């Protein structure tokens, strides 16, 4: 397992221990059973050879490339290996389990000073202290082409731009949404429930990680999956109570009900499939992770409300302030718990503590004093549940623009929440909402500089037009690159 092996149709090699391999002759990926049999057999052979040749019983495993998952841990534990060494970030504190002991990968060209700086950096910039984030949002819809060679050319352009810009992270949209509705109608990874438009996510994510040196977050909906009409779960949607003022808008973004067990199982499958067939660093839960004051009224949702001690009658809940507060708080917590459950499933495949999470919030969720009632979203609860908040730094109402005064107000509103500025990524729009024309790079740069001066730590923009080279990387590089900041921090630590 200590080598790279073919892990997608385009020919990328990923760590053989943790990846489901692509079987080129059969034109398919390994099944779970085939993967489990391969890694179990390989580990067994290694243990047997060491025992036969040295007389030593193996008690620990050092995972090649630091890549591991729940299946590897289970297989190695069954063979008597209780101690596992990873390349997870951070120091070894008493709460780190024996299956996830952290180590530092030392490069051949390090001197003593570099080693000291790396060890101190690990202490200072992990855990609760998030490093500076600079985020570029990328849609695979822009890379897709019927001609695979053209997709490859577009990937090359993207890699060149990201290497030039030097951001910390790329939020890579893993689903197809060419009309920008927020609804996943197909995916860019193999899965059990939706059409696969093309198998692009795995290759693009791995190339960005290994060639551009960035972290890749999979941007995914939580609920907005448009299943084929014949699918058993296609009708298990969030239902809206009569009298909702937003009924027409809500109908444009149908969402699977998080309260329905069948719908939840489908969503879990989709996240499992994503993480089974790709390697990435984090997950961004989309803006569809919301329920308004008239949602959800389906039978499964009402049953859950009854389990909370609430009446199964939305009108009765609306009539009582006390019931209303319990209901909206319950829905917010329920959505948070669902995302956390999905994140844990991703971590089980991807290798533990290095998988980060971000929750997308609209600006309205910050400005609106009744955000929980109106959106089932809360900046305060999101800060507790996620590593980052991906804040859409753009007004929701048509005709509004994120001018200086509006951005100042958003910064102040976020800053009122203790600890919020340390975890919130301000994502600026790179396309004007009304005109659909690109925002000039100079405007984006000025906005970022203004936010930074006001105390904003984490910045990003999207969507990136890597085909037309917009926004201009030469204009944004000084505000988007994190390399200079990290070098400066390491210098101070040394």
Find where tokens 């089974």 sit: 276
| Element containing residue 284 per DSSP (H, E) | strand 282-285
pLDDT band at 397 (very low <50, low <70, confident <90, very high): low
The model's pTM is 0.91
- CA pair distance 360, 339, nearest whole angstrom: 12
Name the packing angle between helices 473-480 and 441-453 (round to 10°).
10
CATH class of 4-105: alpha beta
**Which two structure tokens, joined as six digits, stand for 414?**
């976020």
Compute the average pLDDT of residues 155-169. Answer: 96
pLDDT tens for 350-389 read 765 678 999 999 999 999 989 999 999 999 999 999 999 9
Contact between 187 and 175 under an 8 Å Cβ cutoff? The reply is: yes
- The domains of the chain are located at 4-105, 134-493
**Does pLDDT of 126 surpass 90?**
no
Find where tokens 């944004």 sit: 476
pLDDT tens for 221-277 read 999 999 999 999 999 999 998 777 666 555 668 899 999 999 999 999 999 999 999
Q: What percent of the chain is helix, strand and coil (3-state, nearest 5)?
A: 45, 15, 40
- CA pair distance 186, 149, nearest whole angstrom: 21
Q: Is the peptide bond before 296 cis (omega within 30 degrees of 0)?
A: yes
Range from 61-65, 191-195, 229-233, 419-423 carrying the lowest mean pLDDT: 61-65
**Which two structure tokens, joined as six digits, stand for 351?**
């290798």
pLDDT tens for 48-94 read 999 999 999 999 999 887 888 888 999 999 999 999 998 887 788 89
Q: Which bin fits 351, alpha (ψ -120 to 50), beta or left (φ > 0)? A: left
Find where tokens 């500025």 sit: 421
pLDDT tens for 268-320 read 999 999 999 999 999 999 999 999 999 999 999 999 999 999 999 999 999 99
Q: How many CA atoms are closer than 13 Å to the CA of 294, on its beta-carbon side?
A: 13
Q: Is 118 helix (H, G, I), strand (E, B) or coil?
A: helix
* Rg for the chain, CA atoms, rounded: 23
Q: Do domains 4-105 and 134-493 have the same CATH topology?
A: yes
Find where tokens 């609860």 sit: 381
Q: What topology does CATH give the domain 134-493?
A: TIM Barrel (3.20.20)
């Amino acid at each position: 397992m200590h080598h790279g092996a073919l892990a997608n149709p385009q020919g990328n090699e990923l760590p053989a221990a943790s990846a489901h391999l692509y079987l080129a002759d059969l034109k398919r990926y390994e099944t779970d059973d085939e993967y489990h049999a391969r890694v179990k057999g390989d580990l067994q052979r290694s243990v047997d050879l060491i025992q036969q040749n040295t007389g030593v019983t193996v008690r620990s495993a050092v995972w090649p490339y630091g890549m591991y998952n729940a299946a590897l841990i289970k297989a190695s534990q069954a063979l008597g290996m209780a101690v596992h060494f990873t390349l997870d970030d951070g120091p070894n504190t008493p709460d780190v389990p024996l299956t996830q002991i952290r180590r530092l990968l030392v490069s051949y060209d390090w001197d003593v000073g570099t080693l000291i700086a790396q060890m101190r950096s690990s202490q200072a910039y992990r855990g609760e202290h998030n490093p500076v984030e600079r985020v570029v949002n990328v849609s695979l819809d822009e890379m897709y082409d019927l001609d695979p060679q053209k997709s490859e050319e577009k990937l090359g352009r993207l890699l060149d731009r990201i290497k030039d810009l030097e951001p910390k992270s790329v939020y890579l949209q893993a689903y197809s949404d060419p009309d920008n509705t927020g609804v996943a109608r197909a995916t860019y990874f193999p899965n059990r429930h939706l059409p696969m438009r093309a198998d692009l996510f795995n290759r693009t994510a791995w190339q960005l990680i290994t060639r551009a040196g960035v972290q890749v977050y999979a941007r995914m909906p939580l609920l907005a999956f448009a299943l084929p009409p014949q699918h058993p779960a296609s009708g298990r949607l969030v239902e809206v109570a009569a009298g909702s003022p937003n009924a027409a808008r809500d109908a444009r973004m149908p969402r699977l009900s998080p309260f329905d067990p069948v719908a939840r199982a489908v969503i879990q499958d989709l996240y499992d499939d994503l993480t089974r067939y790709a390697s990435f660093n984090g997950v961004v839960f989309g803006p569809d992770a919301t329920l308004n004051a008239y949602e959800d009224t389906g039978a499964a949702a009402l049953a859950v409300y009854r389990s909370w001690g609430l009446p199964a009658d939305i009108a009765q809940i609306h009539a009582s302030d006390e019931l209303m507060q319990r209901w909206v708080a319950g829905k917010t917590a329920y959505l948070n718990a669902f995302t956390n459950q999905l994140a844990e499933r991703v971590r089980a495949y991807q290798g533990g503590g290095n998988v980060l999470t971000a929750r997308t919030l609209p600006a309205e969720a910050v400005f609106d004093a009744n955000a929980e009632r109106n959106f089932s979203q809360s900046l305060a609860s999101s800060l507790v549940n996620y590593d980052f908040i991906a804040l859409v730094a753009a007004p929701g109402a048509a005709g509004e623009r994120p001018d200086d005064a509006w951005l100042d107000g958003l910064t102040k509103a976020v800053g009122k929440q203790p600890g919020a500025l340390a975890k919130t990524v301000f994502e600026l729009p790179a396309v004007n909402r009304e005109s659909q024309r690109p925002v000039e790079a100079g405007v984006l740069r000025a906005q970022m500089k203004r936010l930074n001066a006001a105390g904003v730590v984490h910045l990003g923009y999207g969507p990136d037009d890597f085909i037309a080279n917009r926004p201009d990387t030469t204009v944004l590089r000084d505000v988007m690159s994190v390399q200079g900041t990290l070098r400066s921090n390491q210098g101070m630590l040394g």
